[in-house]
């Protein structure tokens, strides 16, 4: 299951959540701290995984 990083717009906490693609696409993300659904996705560190072959 892919991991997504989110920041809660209500309590300001960041959370790394394992979501199914279905959950991710439907935006069914809930803050584990305050149960808010106003979650903003952060640019994932997955980007940093890109291998450098220069
Ligand atoms: Zn929250």
Q: 9 pLDDT exceeds 90?
A: yes
Which residues have C-beta under 5 Å from ligand 1, the single-atom ion? 8, 10-11, 31, 33-34, 36
- Output the pLDDT for position 14: 96
How much of the chain is helix, strand and coil, in % rounded to 5? 20, 25, 55
Domain ranges of the chain: 3-45
Cα–ligand 1 centroid distance for 53 (angstroms) = 39
Residues of the chain above pLDDT 90, percent? 50
- CATH for 3-45, options being 2.20.28, 3.20.20, 1.10.150, 1.10.3470: 2.20.28
19-39: pLDDT as tens digits? 998 888 888 899 999 999 999
CA of 10 to the centre of ligand 1 (A): 5
| Whether pLDDT at 51 is above 80 | no
pLDDT of residue 27: 80
């Amino acid at each position: 299951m892919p991991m997504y990083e989110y920041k809660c717009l209500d309590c300001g906490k960041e959370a790394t959540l394992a979501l199914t693609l279905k959950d991710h696409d439907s935006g069914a993300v809930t803050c584990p701290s305050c149960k808010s659904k106003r979650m903003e996705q952060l640019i994932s560190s997955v980007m940093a995984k890109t291998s450098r072959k220069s």
